[in-house]
Amino acid sequence: MTRSLLLAFGALALLSAPASAQNIRAGIIGLDTSHVLAFTKTLNATPQKPEVMGVRMVAAYPQGSKDIEGSTKRVPEYTEKVKAMGVEIVPSIDALLDKVDVVFLETNDGRPHLEQILPCLEAHKPVFIDKPIAGTLVDAIKIFDASKKASIPVFSSSSLRFGKGTQAVRGGSIGTVKQAQTTSPASLEPTHPDLFWYGIHGVESLFTVMGTGCQSVKRGTVTEEVSIEDKATKAVTKQKVERITVTGTWAGGRTGTFTEAKGYGGKAVGEKGEAAIGTYDGYDPLLFSAVHFFRTGVAPVTPEETLEIYAFMEAADESKRRNGAEVTIKEVMDKALAEARK
């Protein structure tokens, strides 16, 4: 039997084994985000929480972004911290894959994700891809295409998807959502479309309650007055700043708006009333979903929904380039699909 067939049978056995019988060795690619510390602390705790029983973080390949200073400067510190939690540091992705059953792709920079995930899929390792799934919508499509071709599941999500109130609305607590607004910080990284880097948090909350079916996007700004303190004199002055705001129109005239803000939050209006959404409830709910995914092979977010989220954010950039004009999701998706599959 060839090595590839042995790997395929091993992956199938992992996904089909009863959850209670599974002891899963997890590995990390990329030690440049605080998420790896949170995930490892929970997985490698003694005793373990019931939701992650039997899953341990055993190895990590530290290399993440090579040219984003905010990411590269974290690697030495985070490497030492995960080592202190019992994680072996390895010199390559191939070395990691020899030691683990599943992979957390944690590189903070979305651009190398496609290159990093391909050997994982070749080795038949299920992968959770932390946000952003990629540096472009084109690469996101290529990742899901490669996953489908290899018959190895992957999924990507922000932790904000799994906020308690957001999940309640997703589950139908207020019926079909007619209108929703979410907020989150939206710091920018010049190498990525504007909302990919941090605005993804609020956008993911928005799509969690609105679902798929967004048809068009318009981007603008809102003006907010903020207080600025001079560190030397402690004097406080008022300053007006512009915040990103993006409104999507869904089928049936439903609307959803993301607005940049200091904090996480929002509101959904449905057939049965209103509800608060968009809160950050820690990393554990996302981790629990990733572990369930590794145990079952069933992704909690479909590729179609994830791709629509990233099309929404790319459409927001296109709307900005067109001075706030409305841009259709179809236009953006068609262009990206053509490039990804040419």
Q: Residue by residue, what is the 3-state secondary structure of the chain?
A: CCHHHHHHHHHHHHHHCCHHHCCEEEEEECCCCCHHHHHHHHHCCCCCCHHHCCEEEEEEECCCCCCCHHHHCCHHHHHHHHHHCCCEECCCHHHHHCCCCEEEECCCCCCCHHHHHHHHHHCCCCEEEECCCCCCHHHHHHHHHHHHHHCCCEEEECHHHHCHHHHHHHCCCCCCEEEEEEEECCCCCCCCCHHHHCCHHHHHHHHHHHCCCEEEEEEEEEEEEEEEECCCCCCEEEEEEEEEEEEEEEHHHCEEEEEECCCCEEEEEECCEEEECCCCCCCHHHHHHHHHHHHHCCCCCCHHHHHHHHHHHHHHHHHHHCCCCCEEHHHHHHHHHHHHCC
Q: Which string of b and e fits 224-242 if b means at least 16 CB within 10 Å?
A: eeeeeeeeeeeeeeeeeee
Distance of CA 143 to the CA centre of its chain: 14
Enumerate the domain spans of the chain: 3-130, 160-340
Q: Are 35 and 130 in contact (CB under 8 A)?
A: yes
- Residues 3-130: name the CATH superfamily: NAD(P)-binding Rossmann-like Domain (3.40.50.720)
Q: What is the pLDDT of residue 275?
A: 98
User: What are the 10-residue block averages of pLDDT along the chain, 342 residues in total?
Assistant: 44 48 90 96 97 98 89 94 98 98 97 98 98 98 98 98 98 98 97 97 98 98 85 86 96 97 97 98 98 97 98 98 98 98 93
Predicted pLDDT at 109: 96
- The span from the CA of 341 to the CA of 183, in Å, is 34
Both tokens of residue 39? 């995930």
- Is residue 260 a contact partner of residue 185, using CB atoms and an 8 Å limit? yes
Please tell us whether the domain made up of 160-340 is placed in CATH 3.30.360.10: yes
- Residue 14: what pLDDT? 55
Q: Is beta strand 88-89 parallel, antiparallel or unpaired with respect to 177-184?
A: unpaired
Which pLDDT value is given to residue 17?
47
Specify the pLDDT at position 234. Answer: 85
The residues near 92 (Cβ < 8 Å, ≥ 6 apart) are: 61
Q: Going by C-beta distance under 8 Å and a sequence separation of 6 or more, which residues neighbour residue 171?
A: none
